[in-house]
Amino acid sequence: MAKAIGILDLHGSNDLGPLTENRSIASTSFLGRYAFMDFPLSNFANSGIDQQGMLVRDHLRSIIQHLGNSHSWSSNTKLGGLSLLYDEPMASYPAYNNDVNNLLENSWFLKGTSGDVVVIAPSHILYRMDFRPLIRDHIKNNHRISVVVHTLNNGKTSFLGEDIATVDERGFLRDLNPNQGTEDEIDISMRTYIVDKEVLNGIINVARKTSAVYSLRDTIKMLSHDMPIFTYKHTGYIRCFDSMNSYLDYSLQLLKESNFTSLFAPDWDIFTKTYDTPPAKYGLNADVKGSFIANGCQIDGTVINSIISRGVIVKEGALIKDSVILSDSFISEDSKLSSVICDKNARILHAKDLISTPEKPVFIKRGDIV
């Protein structure tokens, strides 16, 4: 297989309301021990893509904090590695802070990496994919640009605002337009592109000459009217995280084995930053059902259908249901939480009943005492 370069593009990422007020969605905690960025970076690593770059839009601190030395996502740190690409001159100008200008500012990255093909993926669309068969087919059939799409049957309620891909009978892209929720059966763009390296440089030049605010997506849409852009169909698990509601709903969906096994597989490792924390400790009064409990937790209350991140303490008599509790939080005696998203280091001490619905979850800010 030709040597490939992987780029995680955070410029088109969605926000999750107050949960991403001070962090990127890419570094946001997911399933108790991961961050969203772990999944596309693991797709790269498992596909043999060791040369990786990350186009950072904002919240650089939170990205660096999760990455550490970044060795977790590269099996060959001598020949590969992960580079952070940040467009500091344009960081304060939202209209100009896009992936094309980032690549221009960090042109050294593409020049300094050896590879014929570039795979570009987002962080807010979660899926599992082995890119190797797609790269082989892309090269064999001389597809200079390829876009990965997924056929939805619930387009009226999911992936709203993402791009509907208009695909002709030969499988070539003809247009990209935002999903406004008018149809259920649609082909949705996964914002995942396979591009020849020299063509990517050409796309960047076309974008720069066309508009200073054009992104890769804008340029691919424009080029689809005049040149052949192939599409690959993805099947299997896929979710677009675009709100607090979707974060809670899709997280809890993975507590079901059928959903979990469609994203995780025994031969497909999900790499993440490691912590030297002890196993979870369950007290005599602990009662846990259908939940994820991460390392370092101390559970002495009741946890039902919930996700409890590292280092959380749940005291005797507490009840947590249909909730996500992020790391190092403290849930006091006799507290009752239902449909709650509790950010890191929060302490539930005085408000004993925090009851809501999945459609409108209660959010507790990072470090707050309530």
Domains and CATH numbers, the chain: 4-263 (3.90.550.10), 281-364 (2.160.10.10)
SS3 301: coil
Predicted confidence at residue 153, as pLDDT, reads 96
- The CA angle 8-11-14, to the nearest 5 degrees, is 100
How far apart are alpha carbons 222 and 98 in whole angstroms?
A: 17
| Three-state secondary structure of 90-115 | HCCCCCCCCHHHHHHHCHHHHHHCCC
Q: Are 81 and 43 in contact (CB under 8 A)?
A: no
Q: Which residues of the chain have pLDDT under 70?
A: 1, 69-80
Predicted confidence at residue 274, as pLDDT, reads 82
Residue type present at position 131: F
Q: Are 90 and 105 in contact (CB under 8 A)?
A: yes
pTM of the model: 0.94
SS3 331: strand
How far apart are alpha carbons 129 and 135 in whole angstroms?
A: 12
* φ, ψ for residue 250, nearest 5 deg: -70, -30
Contacts of 229 (CB under 8 A, 6+ apart): 143, 145, 146, 147, 172, 173, 220, 223
Helices and strands of the chain, counted as H and E runs: 9, 28
Predicted confidence at residue 273, as pLDDT, reads 86
- Which two structure tokens, joined as six digits, stand for 278? 């002890």
Per DSSP, helices labelled H in the chain are 38-46, 60-67, 99-105, 107-112, 132-140, 197-210, 216-223, 244-253, 257-263
Q: Are 106 and 91 in contact (CB under 8 A)?
A: no
SS3 263: helix
Predicted confidence at residue 74, as pLDDT, reads 59
Q: Indicate the burial class of 262 (C-beta count within 10 angstroms; 0-12, 13-18, 19 or more).
A: middle
- Which two structure tokens, joined as six digits, stand for 121? 């993926």
* Residues 211-241: b if buried by 16+ CB within 10 A, e if exposed: eeebbbbbbbbbbbeeebbbbbebeebbbbb
Predicted confidence at residue 72, as pLDDT, reads 61
Q: Concatenated DSSP letters for 145-176?
A: EEEEEEEES-TTTSSTTSEEEEE-TTSBEEEE
Element (H, E) at 293: strand 292-293
Residue type present at position 340: V
DSSP summary character for residue 280: P
